[in-house]
Structure 1
Amino acid sequence: MPRPIPGSRPWREQQLDSVLTFARRSALAGGGFGRLDAAGDVQVERGLELWINARMTYVFAIASMRAGTLDPLAEYGVRALRDLFVDPEHGGWFTAVTSDHRPAETRKGCYEHAFVVLAASAARLARVPGAAELLDEALAVHERRFWDERAGRCREAWDAGWTTVEAYRGVNSNMHTVEAYLTASDATGDPRWRHRALRICEQVVADARANDWRLPEHFDAEWRILLDYNASAPADPFRPFGATPGHGLEWSRLLIELEGALDDPPEWLVEAATALYTRAVHDGSVGDTIVYTTDWEGEPVTRERFHWVMAEAVAAADTLARRTDGAVGAADLDRWWRAIENHFVDQEHGSWHHELDDALRVSGRTWPDKPDAYHAVNALLLPDAPLAPTLARSLADG
């Protein structure tokens, strides 16, 4: 039987099963999810990372709602977040713990805590035991420690005791906060979270508009833009130098989702989503893929190609194509789905290669393993979901 057309519903269903089957191997006998290597073997010695555990919990909560029955790994993930990472003295969640569940990295970051909110929100919608209590705690911590009412954005990170806040401010963590707040609003019915998501987007869009839609991501403690940040470490996995086209694409999708979540959305959301998408595609496209970063003139800097960038590319293109009746994004979809099939799908081990070099060979300079199923799962399911509410809410609603 011939393989389904890349991007078609049968193809996406096959890929979703492959990605989820691979991800299940990350479950550790002692609790939580470990980091998977490229072949799908869990690296027990590396311990447990909060962002991976939160994302895996989200993925298996989504899988539960897709299947219409509770996936045991969704409950497994909620227990890990409630029991293994919690700081019993100061509250919040440690960034990493050892394989025997001792604190390994005690820094407390907005990025990781946003994913706890996202995971707990999806798990609550999936009716996972313990998820409602986890979400209440996660939202309370995020509001108290990370939300900055004056700035209308989130602080980046604290020490273990919440005594010293990092001077850096970042858009990446705020982007995932927008996603988490929208899903939390859908899970709780509280409009406060989507209104805060709008405030974050207002600031981000203003900075991008003033920078020819190349999104500044790094700031000092007073939210002054740092365009040269990490110029000596341009391939950093979380704070790379320059503009990140994949984030421009991700923001464009989130702006459309935010529009659908608001009762009276501002008109600039669609304009900004279109502009961010157009700039990211123009600057980042090399052949049928998109590079990791560019400089502020739009020239590629880090030319590796990441699976998450391609996942966000097809998700954004599909979202904008539907919102604009095909005027934006539709022309790119077939090319990018085929690129994922041709370059990223791992026919030997399953799931998707996380990184390719400039010659489109499997690489590992920034992402040597396959720890993440979240981006691929979203990309494979979003085309079947409405533009609003969020994916988790729409699955919960059937």
Structure 2
Amino acid sequence: MEDLTKFREEMATELSRILDYWGTNAPDRQHGGFIGRIDHDGKRYPEAEKGGVLNARILWTFSAAYRVLKKPAYLDLAKRAYTYLRDHFYDHENGGTYWAVRANGSPAQTPKFVYGQAFSIYGLSEYHAVSDDVEALAFATEIYERLEEFSYDHESGGYIEAFSKSWEPLSDMRLGGGGLNAPKTMNTHLHVIEAYVNLYHVWPDIRLRKSIEGLLEAFDRHIIHPETSQMVLYATMDWKPLSRSVSFGHDIEASWLLLESAEVLHQEAVSEKWRKKSVEMARATFAGLAPDGSLYYEYNPDNGHWDKHREWWVFAEAIVGYLNAWQITKDPVFLTRMQEMWAFTRKYILDLKGGEWFTGVNDDYTLANGNKISFWKCPYHNSRMCMEVLKRV
């Protein structure tokens, strides 16, 4: 994009627009915390279950927004999310957080999915960074200890996906009931390292540092394909791939998150290694580009099937990922990719009338089924995109 100043201004405007939507519509005035679902038409579902991932992402979003913009209302919303996590999602008997609670705050789904634990750490550590709340940090470090005790695989490395309320192994580890039943997944590992890095900023523990180093090694040795620079989505306990499907959104998201993870170690040789990998991973996502310059969702080479719907969060991550690759290489192709992603987002994904972003569109550009707020529809990807651009440009 030729005028990065204008782009930065657009990101500042979009960040305020996203935060305004969530600050106005998300709080549950009846039951407390935040509502579990609002659909594309603005209809509220007051009795919908509330997801732990959603609450943790709201916690991270408004904590990070306060750090960037210093608006007291954002810290108030972060405190609301933290208090609700502490009082309703946190398992004070066994440690860790529940997957979901009912509208009234009582436990609804109590398995300990490691993906959910990671986002709890992510949100809690960010909240501690802006509030100095020692209780929040204590919860974050306690969840870290539980993951290292129960989830970490001392034999093959990496983290096992899911456990019961009392941290017993589960036979069905599928995240929210979707995908393959695999003991290890790229998605969980990506968000564990993301969470651990955020925690390391406020708690530079030597064991945590070694955990981050181990996660980087797992991505390098087992998750990122050495020839394609695309990631293995599902694996066995000893890291044998269970699928050849490619997730272009996760690949571009990992391209910048893994570099950020390496840089926290402050070892130039490690950072340089991951700068190269970051660019390789970003360039590999070009295989998923649609003729209109947007990114398809997924491709399965085993059956030749393309999932061609365009998903909101993919564009948020692609904008950051391509900006990151351009900053490393100064190759104008990455700036062009970023420009195309933002143009598509503005045209099809932003809801300028109703606020926030639509979930996505189908290949024919019709609106895909989805919600403005739901278990998976959150303010984290798109607000983080805006804040990353404001930091980088």
- TM over 0.5, shorter chain: yes
Match of 2:257 in 1: 254
Aligned CA distance change for structure 1 residues 188 and 69 (closer, same or farther; 3 Å): farther
SS of equivalent residue, structure 1 residue 294: strand
- TM-score, normalized by length of structure 1? 0.86
**Pair 298,57 (structure 1): closer, same or farther in 2 beyond 3 Å:** farther
The residue aligned with 2:248 is 245
User: Which amino acid in 2 is paired with 1:203?
Assistant: A
1:90-169 pair list within 5 angstroms: 90-127=94-131, 129=133, 130-165=135-170, 166=173, 168-169=183-184
AA aligned to 2:28 is L
Task: Evaluate the alpha carbon distance shift between residue 94 and residue 15 of structure 1 in structure 2; reply closer, same or farther with a 3 A threshold.
Answer: same
Matched, 1:344 2:349: yes
Over 6 Å off, 4+ runs: 4-7
Given residue 185 of structure 1, which amino acid in structure 2 is its aligned partner?
Y
Contact kept? 1:90, 1:160, Cα under 8 Å: yes
The alignment covers a number of residue pairs equal to: 369
What does residue 8 of structure 1 align with?
Answer: 7
**Residue 197 of structure 2, aligned match among 161, 182, 186:** 182
State the SS of the aligned residue for 1:301: strand
Pair 22,317 (structure 1): closer, same or farther in 2 beyond 3 Å: same
Q: 1:174-221: CA deviations, max 9, x gaps? A: 101111111111121235434423322322233423452231111123
Aligned pair partner of 2:306 in 281, 301, 304: 301
CA distance in 2, matches of 1:294, 1:270: 26
Aligned-partner Cα distance in 1 for 2:65–2:10: 17
1:338–1:368 Cα change, 3 Å:
same
1:66 aligns with 2:77: no
Q: Indicate the residue corresponding to 1:393 in structure 2.
A: none
Match of 2:338 in 1: 333
Q: Which moved more, 1:100-109 or 1:191-200?
A: 191-200
CA contact (8 A) 1:6 1:337 kept: no
CA displacement at 1:354 relative to structure 2: 1.4
Contact 2:225 2:232 in 1 (8 A): no
Distance 1:285-1:193 versus aligned 2 partners, 3 A rule: farther
Structure 1 distance, partners of 2:99, 2:322, is 33
Of 230, 234, 251 in structure 2, the residue corresponding to residue 214 of structure 1 is 230
Q: How far apart are 1:359 and its partner, in Å?
A: 1.2
Deviations 1:70-113 (A, max 9, x none): 42110011111111012233222110111122221111101111
Q: Which residue of the partner structure matches residue 54 of structure 2?
A: 52
Contact kept in structure 1, 2:156 and 2:237, CA below 8 Å: no
Q: Is residue 201 of structure 1 aligned with residue 201 of structure 2?
A: no
Contact 2:95–2:142 at 8 Å: present in 1 too?
no
* 1:337 maps to amino acid: W
Instruction: Give the corresponding residue for 1:374.
Output: 380
The one-letter code of the counterpart of 1:197 is I
C-alpha spacing 1:298/1:253, structure 2 compared with 1 (3 Å):
farther
Structure 1 unaligned regions, length at least 5: 229-241, 388-398
Match in the other structure for 2:33? 32
SS at structure 2 position matched to 1:290 = coil
Provide the rounded CA distance (Å) in 2 between the counterparts of 1:306 and 1:173.
Answer: 19
Distance in 1, Cα, partners of 2:77 & 2:205: 27
Residue 175 of structure 2 is aligned to residue 170 of structure 1:
no
Give the match for residue 324 of structure 2: 319
CA–CA distance in 2 between the matches of 1:209 and 1:346? 37
CA–CA separation in structure 2 for the residues paired with 1:282 and 1:155: 30
Partners of 1:290 and 1:329 lie apart in 2 by 13
Are the structure 2 counterparts of residues 245 and 258 from structure 1 closer, same or farther at C-alpha, using a change threshold of 3 Å? same
- Using structure 2 for the length normalisation, give the TM-score: 0.87
Distance 2:61 2:248 in 1: 24
Q: Name the stretch that deviates more: 13-22 or 51-60.
A: 13-22
The offset of 1:376, in angstroms, is 0.2
Instruction: Calculate the aligned-residue CA RMSD, in Å.
Output: 2.4
- Describe the superposition over 1:138-185 as per-residue Cα deviations: whole angstroms up to 9, x where unpaired: 322232232334333111000112122446211101101111111111
Deviations 1:322-341 (A, max 9, x none): 12234662231222111111
- Asked whether the 8 Å contact 1:6–1:12 carries over to 2, the reply is no
Looking at structure 2, the residues matched to 325 and 300 of structure 1 have their Cα atoms a distance apart, in angstroms, of: 34
Q: Which amino acid aligns with 1:178?
A: I
Kept in 2, the 8 Å contact 1:284–1:292? The answer is no
Cα contact 2:11–2:390 (8 A) shared by 1:
no
Q: Is the 8 A contact 2:356 2:372 kept in 1?
A: no
Letter in 1 for 2:104: D
Q: Partner of 1:85 in structure 2?
A: 89
1:6–1:334 contact (8 Å) kept in structure 2: no
Q: Which residue of 2 aligns with 1:234?
A: none
Aligned-partner Cα distance in 2 for 1:134–1:49: 18
For residues 155 and 356 of structure 2, what CA distance do their matches in structure 1 show?
A: 42
Residues 146 and 386 (structure 1 numbering): CA distance in 2 closer, same or farther, change over 3 Å?
A: farther
Write the distance in 2 (CA, Å) between the matches of 1:118 and 1:81: 13
SS in 2 for 1:152: coil
Say which SS state the counterpart of residue 8 (structure 1) adopts: helix
Shift of 1:277: 1.0
Which digits, 9 at most, give the CA deviation of each residue in 1:268-296, with x for residues without a partner?
31222122111112234442211110123
Q: Distance in 2 between matches of 1:10 and 1:300?
A: 39
